[in-house]
Structure 1
Amino acid sequence: MTDPEHHQTAPQDRISLLNKFIYGLGALVNNLLGAAIGGMVIVLNLGLGMNPALVGLVSALPRLTDAITDPLMGYISDNTRSKWGRRRPYIFGGAIAAGILFAALWQLPSDQSETFYFWFFLIGSLIFYLAYTVFATPWVALGYELTPDYHERTRLMAVQNFMGQMAYLIAPWFLWFMQNDNFFDDMSQGAGWLAIIIGAFTVCVGILPAIFLKEPNQHIVDKPTAKDTEALAPGVKGFFKGFADTIKFKPFLCLCGATFLVFNGFMMVSSFQFYVIIYYVFNGDTNMGSEYAGWAGTLSAIATFCVIFIVTKISTHFGKRRAFFFAIGMSIIGYGSKWFCYHPDYPLLILAPVPFIAFGLGGLFTLMGSMIADVCDFDELKTHKRREGMYGSIFWWVVKLGMAVALAAGGVLLNATGFDVALGGEQSESTIFYMRLFDAVVPMVFSAIAIWLVMLYPITEETAYQTRAKLEARRGAV
């Protein structure tokens, strides 16, 4: 790899460390809610006895509605004009609503039918995810526009990813907390109290980016006309046109496809590997399995902190694409090593693949946000509009879709292995084999395809700075 010519970040383009930290608090809230949903949903199966396929379905369906609500929220945010800005009012109100609704969602009544739990959780999830969207979509868009500099964008995303990873430092212990007999009578009661804690944290911390960060109004290049504000039709037409233009932009599609594959593979493993650890490595011992899974998750979060620093440095010297190839390649090595390291006779080897796997999400969310911000510049050059909200909403809907597909597929695959929770540690040999096979091979294949997609992404450091120069010249002329 050759060392390309580098541009220096101008002082006015830099974001203070304090502001990066405050923006990163939004990532902590965002990731905590996402990780909690993925990690706590196991309660519906192990705690309430719901069929794994139904658990996967009730987890997936609400995320599919985001295909409408996320881009709509992005469009609303892009076109909002208020004295508080385009993003901050929604971040503030969305954080409060999401925290309260998340706490309420997990107050599951006891001794109800499987059908009752399915509809209770489905309806509650639909309402919660709407509030979650109101918070997350404008917060993501705000990050894309805080700086116009190619390298400072990566540094900002590195800090926010670093902050966001703190959620994954905590999340692996959710199962241990919920099923701990010393604290609660049953797992569903533990989930209820955990949700209250997470909800309160969401309200108190999620509002901080809205309070302390300022929006860069110089990036708003289009102003609403009287016709736009007096009639609904132009807004509806503008939404569909903006949506169509966004999903047709090939550099953006490359990033979305790669993100879907990498994140889908990781999330499928994150829900599936609990079963492999508990029922293969520890022969059905839930307490030991959850403890070791917790240690593995904690090590993953710690390793990811280091990965973020490494990937940021590689991106600076060799470009964002090559940094992505390196990071995802390392994660493929980690997934493959699980086949050999997950062994009943050597439980500590569970920790060996973790640092390699950490390169997956550590690299993905450090680089993708920065690359999408570059895409927004290319889009403005073509359309004369800033659509950070639209791009961010569709990108994160792809992330959510990956989570939904992973959760649904995880339940279906678990049934396909022949797993029966009533058998405990007496699962059949074929069940164990297929559980291990899906756990290792699926994310390896997905990650390899993601590397191929990013090879097609055309934006380099040089082209990004050329685009910025053209935009600034055009804005100055206007």
Structure 2
Amino acid sequence: MTSNTTTFGLNSPTALPFSSRLAYGFATLGTGSFLVVPQLFLLFFMTDQLGISPFWASLTLLAPKLWEFLTDPYIGLRSDQLKSRWGRRHPFMLFGGVLLSVGIAMVFNVPTLDTPQARWLYVTSMFVLATTGYALFIVPYTALLGEITTDAHERTRVVALRMGFLSLSLLVAAVVWPEVLKSLGAGLSAYAVVGWGVGVLCLIAILVTVAGTRNIPIANAGTAEEAPLLSQLRTVASNKAFVMLATAYGLQMLAQSANSAMLAYAGKYLSPLGANFLPLYFGATTLVSILAMIGWSFAATRFSKRFCFIAGSAIGSVGYVLSTIGLTGSVTTLVAGAVLCGIGFSAGQVFGFSLLPDILDQHRRRNFSSHDGAFTGVWVGLEKLGLALGATVAGLVIGWFGFIASTGETVAQPAAALGAMTWLFGYVPAVLMIVAMLPLTSSAFRELERPGS
């Protein structure tokens, strides 16, 4: 089928030293903020600080992700085939890290422009730059996990540590950045400081990972085929287990994105907690998710990862319902919902990212060839598309129901827009979490059902 291949060894299961697991996960300390800060603040920043309508602001969230959805598989293919003294993944990771760090800083540092349309064009362009850099980093980074160890238990440990860094990053996003905004007056200059802070954090974290993982021996790279992109995408689409896993994970990202996009609006327009709502709710969710990583790692040694993924989805769906009930009611109910959402979120992250390399390993054993970059390119593309679509739809819906944009002042919103915010905050994500359980019941996971596999 192909004339050019590069062959790598398929070695015995490989345990990694703690320093290597630490180095691999460290990048997430920065990339977590890159993902979460736009989710929490970008839509709100554009509609309530830049005077951009919800319709155009929603397009800003969606357009870069559609671009990446098309380019991610190509990046994966090229990283499969690259030959350099730095290996095939790390050159992409380094260049992408620099690009995304500069881009995200510029997104929130908006120059003086006369019209909302000009401000929209600037923010959108910078966000495209930042998300392109993220794609160049995250696709090879995700593929690297399946290559540095062949031990399924070790992958779960690596992913759990990585998710610990992600949770810490989310905690920073939930507590530190909102506090910075509040202390600096929550105006344009405050958002500019947050933009630079996120950019610097991303750059430092990614450089640590690139340097710390560069010399980890490759234990499981398989055979990299120089096949056409469309041929590799057909191979990806024919793997039923991957399609089912990606569908479930994408639906969870859609739910999480819709909820996150509404947090700033809920604090300003719905909750009696006001400015304290976002750090309380998101902080509780994140703190619990950090602790739940440990529990899920233990559960994976007793039950199959698929079972744990389904259980986490069910817990998360209940959490979203309770969160909605507590939004304008009991703080205790609100926090209980946040706790359950944190448990559900951590399950999706741990088992989504630890099942993925298991599926890729199974594919290599069956086909004696590697398409890791193509698989992870599609995976990352679907993840980002889910995150973008949730926030995009949320913006379009509140705009449809009459949300009024502003440039910093408080505007009385119509009842229909407030109702839409409430549903998008909790009930809609709860339904999406329930639907996400259905693909996980597929028989395609049967061979991956060994406890801890």
What TM-score do the two structures reach when normalised by structure 1?
0.85
Q: 1:386 to 1:281 in 2, by over 3 A?
A: same
Match of 1:244 among 234, 247, 254: 234
- TM superposition shift of 1:463: 7.0
Residue type of the partner of 1:74?
A: G
Structure 2 residue matching 1:386: 3-state secondary structure = coil
Residue type of the partner of 1:212?
A: G
- Counting only pairs closer than 5 Å after superposition, residues 32-47 of structure 1 correspond to structure 2 as 32-41=33-42, 42-47=44-49
- TM superposition shift of 1:429: 4.0
- TM superposition shift of 1:357: 0.6
Which runs of no fewer than 5 residues in structure 1 stay unpaired?
1-9, 225-234, 283-287, 469-478
Q: RMSD between aligned alpha carbons?
A: 2.5
2:434 matches 1:448 = yes
Match of 1:355 among 339, 344, 350: 339
Q: 1:429 to 1:200 in 2, by over 3 A?
A: closer
- TM superposition shift of 1:100: 2.0
Number of the residue aligned with 2:5? none
Structure 2 residue matching 1:317: 3-state secondary structure = coil
Residue type of the partner of 2:163?
A: N
Number of the residue aligned with 1:13? 14
Residue type of the partner of 1:122?
A: T
| Cα contact 2:358–2:448 (8 A) shared by 1 | no
Q: 1:109 to 1:323 in 2, by over 3 A?
A: same
Match of 1:396 among 380, 386, 401: 380
- TM superposition shift of 1:304: 0.2
Separation in 2 of the partners of 1:304 and 1:372?
A: 20
- TM superposition shift of 1:410: 0.7
| Cα contact 1:150–1:464 (8 A) shared by 2 | no
Residue type of the partner of 1:276?
A: A
Number of the residue aligned with 1:340? 325
Separation in 1 of the partners of 2:415 and 2:218?
A: 61
- Counting only pairs closer than 5 Å after superposition, residues 13-412 of structure 1 correspond to structure 2 as 13-41=14-42, 42-173=44-175, 176-177=178-179, 179-180=181-182, 182-183=183-184, 187-213=187-213, 214-222=215-223, 235=226, 237-282=227-272, 288-343=273-328, 346-347=330-331, 349-412=333-396
Separation in 2 of the partners of 1:443 and 1:425?
A: 27
Deviations for 1:248-290, whole angstroms, at most 9, x for unmatched residues? 21100101110111110111011113323421223xxxxx523
Q: 1:293 to 1:220 in 2, by over 3 A?
A: closer
Separation in 2 of the partners of 1:174 and 1:122?
A: 25
Separation in 1 of the partners of 2:419 and 2:38?
A: 27
Count of matched residue positions in the alignment of Structure 1 and Structure 2: 438
- TM superposition shift of 1:420: 3.0
Separation in 1 of the partners of 2:85 and 2:257?
A: 39
| Cα contact 2:148–2:219 (8 A) shared by 1 | no
Number of the residue aligned with 1:472? none
- TM superposition shift of 1:367: 0.5
Separation in 2 of the partners of 1:116 and 1:421?
A: 16
| Cα contact 1:262–1:360 (8 A) shared by 2 | no
Residue type of the partner of 1:409?
A: V
Deviations for 1:106-146, whole angstroms, at most 9, x for unmatched residues? 22013521110121122222222222211111111111222
Structure 1 residue matching 2:84: 3-state secondary structure = coil
Separation in 2 of the partners of 1:19 and 1:194?
A: 30
Separation in 2 of the partners of 1:406 and 1:313?
A: 31
Which runs of no fewer than 5 residues in structure 2 stay unpaired?
1-10
Bigger Cα displacement from structure 2, 329-338 vs 376-385: 376-385
Q: 1:279 to 1:462 in 2, by over 3 A?
A: closer
Separation in 1 of the partners of 2:419 and 2:23?
A: 45
Separation in 2 of the partners of 1:121 and 1:276?
A: 23
Q: 1:428 to 1:125 in 2, by over 3 A?
A: closer
Structure whose CA Rg is larger: 1
Q: 1:293 to 1:242 in 2, by over 3 A?
A: same
| Cα contact 1:85–1:215 (8 A) shared by 2 | no
Q: 1:372 to 1:37 in 2, by over 3 A?
A: same
Structure 2 residue matching 1:65: 3-state secondary structure = helix
Residue type of the partner of 1:17?
A: F
Separation in 2 of the partners of 1:223 and 1:206?
A: 25
Q: 1:431 to 1:200 in 2, by over 3 A?
A: closer
Residue type of the partner of 2:268?
A: I
Separation in 1 of the partners of 2:448 and 2:425?
A: 40
Match of 1:432 among 418, 421, 430: 418
Separation in 2 of the partners of 1:210 and 1:216?
A: 14
| Cα contact 2:322–2:333 (8 A) shared by 1 | no
Deviations for 1:375-426, whole angstroms, at most 9, x for unmatched residues? 1122213332222222112111111001111121011111233333569474
Separation in 1 of the partners of 2:397 and 2:115?
A: 24
What TM-score do the two structures reach when normalised by structure 2?
0.90
- TM superposition shift of 1:453: 0.7
Separation in 2 of the partners of 1:81 and 1:418?
A: 54
Number of the residue aligned with 1:458? 444
Separation in 1 of the partners of 2:419 and 2:158?
A: 42
Separation in 1 of the partners of 2:125 and 2:392?
A: 17
Separation in 2 of the partners of 1:451 and 1:463?
A: 16
| Cα contact 1:319–1:461 (8 A) shared by 2 | no
Q: 1:318 to 1:463 in 2, by over 3 A?
A: closer
Residue type of the partner of 1:385?
A: S
Number of the residue aligned with 1:230? none
| Cα contact 1:28–1:167 (8 A) shared by 2 | yes
| Cα contact 1:178–1:188 (8 A) shared by 2 | no
| Cα contact 1:255–1:457 (8 A) shared by 2 | no
- TM superposition shift of 1:295: 1.7
Number of the residue aligned with 2:7? none
